[in-house]
Structure 1
Amino acid sequence: MAIWASIELHSKCIRFALVLLVLSIIIASGQRLDLLGMPGPLPVAVGILSLSVMALLWRDIRSKVTGDNRTLISLLNQYFTFKFVGWLGKRQRAKLEADTLNICQVQEETLLKRLRKNADTLYGKQYDFSSNNDSEAFRARHPVTMYEHYRELVRRVAAGEERVLIAEKPLILAMTSGTSGPCAMHLSTKETNTEFFLQGVAVCLDAMRLAFPASDSLQRTTKFFYSPTFRQSEAGIPIGPNSSTPASSRHLLNLYTSPATTYQVPSERDALYLHLLFALKDPSVGTLESNFASTVFYAFLALQERWQELVEDIELGRVSPSLTLEPWIRSSLDGHMKPDPKRTSQLRSEFQQGFVGIARRLWPQLNLVLAVDSGSNQIYGDMLRENYCQGVPFYSPFYAATEGLIGVNLWPEEQQSRRYLLCPRSMFCEFLPEANLDLETPEKHTLLMGEVEEGQSYELVITNASGLFRYRMGDILKVVGFHNQCPVVEFQYRRGQMLSVRGEKVSEAMFLRALRQAVSQWPGAQLVDYCCAESGILGESCGGSDPHYQVFVELKGLRNLTEEQRYKLDQCLQDGSAIYKSFRFRGSIGPMRVQMVSEGAFQELRTKMMAFSDTSANTFKMQRVLRRKEYADFLLGKTIS
């Protein structure tokens, strides 16, 4: 089932509603409906029916409207979109619930579907997919793989060779963010996109509606999204991030505060300004949305920096002349602006009171921040909740990657944890126990979905719809429970993002806990961002002979770090990791070196990382452990304390 073919249904509903509206207006004005060729009493019956239906429809719509300046078409579009996606979400949720009752059979069906579809490819013939009748035969014949296993095959696909890994031609060659190693290029297909929408988006919107009823109102959403840049492979296949602009579907545009042309602005800085401008114009914004909490956090940093310029634009009814925009884009956006002295006065008053809790003060009816705030984005979610978005609930809907949809969060009301139910029809999943991660023959130790144990951690091994078979994701998950028979997991860390100079293995989550504990003891300090490097990659600039951690932090509210404060971080990590403490006690690991970098250093680093990896702002994740010396050298050059 194609996504947009399904969504076309709601536009037909809008046209039907408009026909009813026209008939209602005609009958109400006393015009003769027999001009339309309707015999006898039928015109009157049609008119009465039209009036009745429209009255019920309009009453339902008006009960959900919280903002002004909405056109009838805009309201109808959003209303029927919500109704359609709501119906679809309930349907998909019911399918998911049924699947969780028979997890072993569903996983077998998912695997065999993948193998049969790709049996006639070069890869499928090499591993004799056609003769695999169950998962046991497949696992016995196919090795556990990593990306190097596929690199040359993906290159052949990019060059235009067909039926190499998968039977269909990929829509794009999707680049990973490279958070835990070199960037990889994956095949993104129509099937993976459809799966993501049906099994992910629709299900999570149903969960969101049940947990946050206010999200079902006809309020607009501010969606922070930036126009991705693509290049072409030799065969003309787009290469870039696995994301598409909201403007690619006209049906979705009325859901957002930003006009369509905003999503065509190439500059991230200018596009962010425009998203903020049109969000500030609308006091009834209901949701702030982005792929990741980091994008929302940096949007608020930009708002804090540029609020006076934004308010001036709303006062004058213009788009700032400081933005570099194509003339036709500027003309289109100016058409959405007019002077608004009342809103200007409200905004100035709120900004002058400071930025703690600013989100709810700017948008009193804001009911949700919709963004992933687990894993490397946990820090940004925490900072938003503590500062800009106090009192606003967060919903982290998906656990997903470039490789596809992995899990959905069915418990939006839980604000202290992020649990994801694995999607049994999205991927065939295997689980490598954490104790076996470094074994030379991992294929002999993987477990199936029905074999994992609560409380244990595993590396996820997937077979997906786009040419990855028994592929080690590098994600370490902890099974925290079961929903019927299906595992519920929490993300723990990326295998490539471990700090380890003597084999001690300090995970991202462990280090972040120590860092937050230390910062809480630095008076006035607010953590903005951080990353680490192992001394071995720094060469002569490492600053010490013993292996150690080099830590870079960006802070607000603090001008410099004392030696006592730097040591406090080392002490907090020793308190949280007995293994690290033992190495420090023996002198095998030297004291960590903590460098405070200048304001904006991490935003500059982010730009460098995106340029290197072909990653867009929509899919970027900050690397917590730097593996490239030039990134560490860049931050050393930004050190102020």
Structure 2
Amino acid sequence: MVMPSCDPNDLEGSTRLIEDLTANARQVQQQVLNEILTRNQGTEYLHGFLRGRKGRDLFKKKVPVVEYDQVKPYIDRLANGEPSRIISAQPISELLTSSGTSGGQPKMMPSTDEELDRKTFLYNLLIPVMNQYVDGLDQGKGMYLLFIKPEISTPAGLTARPVLTSYYKSRHFRSRPFNRFNVYTSPDEAILCPDSKQSMFCQLLCGLRQRDQVLRVGAVFASAFLRAIKFLEDHWPELCSNIRTGTVSDWITDASCRDAVGRILREPNAELADVIESECRREPWEAIVKRLWPRTKYVDVIVTGSMAQYIPLLEFYSGGLPLVSTMYASSECYFGINLRPLDLPSDVSYTLLPNMAYFEFIEADKTDDRGETGSVECNYTGDLIKVVDLVDVEVGRYYELVVTTFTGLYRYRVGDILKVTGFHNAAPQFRFVHRRNVVLSVDTDKTNEEDLLKAVTQAKLLLEPLGCLLTEYTSYADTSSIPGHYVLFWELKTKASSDPSHIDSAVMEDCCSTIESCLDSVYRRCRSRDRSIGPLEIRVVRRGAFDALMDYCVSLGSSVNQYKTPRCIQSREAIQLLEEKVVGKFFSRKLPFWEPYTMMEAKAG
């Protein structure tokens, strides 16, 4: 039962499997923990706490709940060549880099070959779930825009790469059964092309060439799908030319990608090029997805968490097509699936599958003194922590997710804050609320309040020679354009003038660049290499703007005594309030420095 087989073509059998797993969630969780402890009781990590013993109660009493800083020394040792058995009885085959961290470099999570089987199991379950809600998906293809990212080699020769790059390069993806529900317009060669621009062009070209067969479109994240729309907006004349002539542009130099796309183009198709061109010429681009791919039934992208900010743009471009978030996963492990995929994005809940890992939850409190962030945090010290099992969570309460995986993580705090919305059989369903401490995110970047403060502290030093002080600031992620970008509202106090709009624009632009240079490597990569984040912007507001923001928050119920300026605002009304008081706008004019993470920093000693 812990790792049952799942045939995505057997819809009835797959549905029955989901019912069995969720109905027996408590027993399955116990089996998972027993298997993990039996396998790994001899590892250095677990032996240090359990001394060769096992059992749920002893595990909970002796093994501490940990964060990444407490796991990192073991990861560094693996990266530098020490044996896998320090944390796992199974060989660690690679390290998976997280999308973001506050530590300046991506976190790295251990993984094994077996874990790819577990990921494939979850992917296979998505098909029967969708077929319960959408008919006829076997009558066409999916236009999924999927990409790989650079990977590195650790000093010991382990590969470190993002989790999706690992999956797309695995035999599980490349040898996946092309069942009638699992056919994509993008050839594997285009997905695996290391040049992201060539990959994007070729995948869109294949999707347009096969437009009449497309029944669903998507990407992993909403931000990636919108980048594809922007790319299409910039390159549709060239894409139409390729279709019209039946040839691929000369600048597509990746040989395997070029050959694979050439096989799909086959021959000139002027009629199709004319249809696509006529739609792309129409302004505005409202419902462009539905117009270019008229048979599309839904858009498959993650729109929960920080991706929710893209919903208005997605609705504009998709013409009201359902937005479907199918699964919940991370670099640590894959967690669960959405059993009601056509729910509105605001109502999406994920059912954690009890065989994927051993799940625990830290009780969290919803705080009311953070203005517009609506934050939920876990407030505890030492032994005061209260952790409950998967089946013991309560509807309506907030929790932080803790996982024990088959790959060597034990009672690890993932950092995701979840709200229990109900149960499917005995398995709870959760709405993703936010990442712990994260205040800003546009793409795969995750900037927390502490890192933002450090960056602003460095930038405001540039103001001192001008006799100018930063008195207040807040921020938000502006996703009204593509790509989105960080916006900071600054209220300044100057000695020379009461009008902060007269401040030197070159200095303010340097402030923008300084903030960007101080943010972590994931942000800088998204800005400098991926170009998935636009230049950071500082909007200077006139004096009194933040007093007005406080008045607004207090009017909504915040306590005057406990009020703290929110370092990130999400309310449109609050943003508009500050917008009305903007006296100057400044943008970063430089790309921040970024280079791929080298493992030299991870060497022990």
Matched residue SS, 1:434: strand
Greater CA drift, 544-553 or 412-421: 544-553
Whether the 8 Å contact between 2:102 and 2:447 is mirrored in structure 1 is no
Aligned to 1:235: 156
Shift of 1:194: 1.4
Amino acid at match of 2:200: L
Q: What's 1:54 paired with?
A: none
- 1:45 alignment partner in structure 2: none
Give 1:259's aligned residue: 187
Indicate the SS of the match to 2:150.
coil
- Whether 1:457 and 2:398 are equivalent positions in the alignment is yes
Aligned twin of 2:574: none
Shift of the 485–339 alpha-carbon distance from structure 1 to 2, 3 Å rule, reads same
The CA deviation at 1:408 is 1.1
Q: Is the 8 A contact 1:228 1:241 kept in 2?
A: yes
Aligned with residue 140 of structure 1, among 54, 61, 69: 61
Q: Indicate which of 325, 330, 353 corresponds to 2:258.
A: 330
* Counterpart pick for 1:493 among 423, 434, 439: 434
Do the aligned partners of residues 414 and 136 (structure 1) sit closer, same or farther apart at CA in structure 2, a change above 3 Å counting? same
Mapped to 2, the partners of 1:191 and 1:205 lie a distance apart of: 22
- What are the superposed Cα offsets for residues 364-413 of structure 1, whole Å, 9 maximum, x if unpaired? 1111222221112112244212x111132222111110011112100012
Task: Give, in whole Å, the separation in 2 of the partners of 1:236 and 1:128.
Answer: 31
Contact 1:215 1:368 in 2 (8 A): no
The root-mean-square deviation of aligned C-alpha atoms, in Å, is 4.0
Matched residue, 1:473? 414
What do the CA deviations read for 1:200-237 (whole angstroms, capped 9, x no partner)? 212221110111113232x1222212233222223322
SS of 1:194's equivalent in the other structure is: helix
Distance 1:577 1:470, change over 3 A: farther
Q: Aligned to 1:176, which of 98, 101, 111? A: 98
Partners of 1:540 and 1:156 in 2: CA distance: 33
* Matched-pair contact (CA < 8 Å) for 1:531–1:552: no
Deviations 1:452-490 (A, max 9, x none): 211110111111111111111111111111122221110
Indicate conservation of the 8 Å contact 1:554/1:596, yes or no: no
- Residue 364 in structure 1 maps to residue 294 in structure 2: yes
- CA 1:123–1:562 in structure 2 vs 1: closer, same or farther (change >3 Å)? closer
Would you say 1:548 and 2:473 are equivalent positions? yes
> 1:488 and 1:335, CA in 2 relative to 1: closer, same or farther beyond 3 A?
closer
Partner of 2:506: none
What is the CA–CA distance in structure 2 between the aligned matches of 1:111 and 1:484, rounded to whole Å? 21
Amino acid in the other structure paired with 2:117 = T
Distance 1:121 1:93, change over 3 A: farther
User: Who is 2:507 aligned against?
Assistant: none
Give 1:289 deviation, angstroms. Answer: 2.9
Is 1:307 equivalent to 2:236 in the alignment?
yes
In the other structure, the counterpart of 1:96 is 18
- The 5 A counterparts of 1:473-622 are 473-498=414-439, 534-539=452-457, 541-542=459-460, 544-551=469-476, 553=478, 555-556=480-481, 570=549, 574=553, 578-579=557-558
Tell me how far apart the structure 1 counterparts of residues 385 and 253 of structure 2 sit (CA, whole Å).
57
The answer (yes or no) to whether the contact 2:102–2:448 under 8 Å persists in 1 is no
Q: 1:425 aligns with which of 355, 367, 385?
A: 355
2:79, 2:156 within 8 Å by CA — same for their partners in 1?
A: yes
Shift of 1:247: 8.4
Inter-partner Cα distance in structure 2 for 1:92 and 1:242: 25
Q: 1:546 to 1:582 in 2, by over 3 A?
A: farther
Across the two proteins, how many residue pairs are aligned to each other? 500
Superposition deviation, residue 438 in structure 1:
3.1
After superposition, the Cα gap between the structure-2 partners of 1:439 and 1:380, relative to the gap in structure 1 and judged at 3 Å, is: same
Distance 1:6 1:469, change over 3 A: closer
- For 1:247 and 1:474, how far apart are their aligned partners in 2? 27
Q: Is the 8 A contact 2:28 2:355 kept in 1?
A: yes
Partner of 1:159: 80
Mapped pair 1:398 → 2:316: no
The structure whose Rg is larger is: 1
Q: How does 1:186-335 map to 2 (within 5 A)?
A: 186-198=109-121, 200-217=122-139, 219-243=140-164, 244-245=167-168, 248=171, 249-251=174-176, 255-284=183-212, 285-321=214-250, 323-327=251-255, 329-335=257-263
CA displacement at 1:552 relative to structure 2: 5.9
Distance 1:395 1:132, change over 3 A: same
Point out where structure 2 has 5 or more consecutive residues left out of the alignment: 366-376, 464-468, 485-536, 570-576, 599-605
Q: CA 1:453/1:241 → structure 2, altered by over 3 Å: closer, same or farther?
A: same
Structure 1: which amino acid aligns with 2:68? Y
Letter in 1 for 2:142: T
Amino acid of the structure 2 residue aligned with 1:120: G
The alpha carbon displacement at 1:530 in A equals 12
Structure 1 residues 223 and 552, CA gap change in structure 2 (3 angstroms) = closer
Separation in structure 1 between the aligned mates of residue 125 and residue 453 of structure 2, nearest angstrom: 45
Which runs of no fewer than 5 residues in structure 1 stay unpaired?
A: 8-83, 500-507, 513-528, 615-641
Amino acid at match of 2:31: E
Assess if the C-alpha contact under 8 Å between 1:119 and 1:125 holds in 2: yes
Q: Deviations over 1:560-587 (max 9, x none)?
A: 98969x9599479727964487666999
Pairing 1:79-90 to 2, within 5 Å after superposition: 84-87=7-10, 90=12
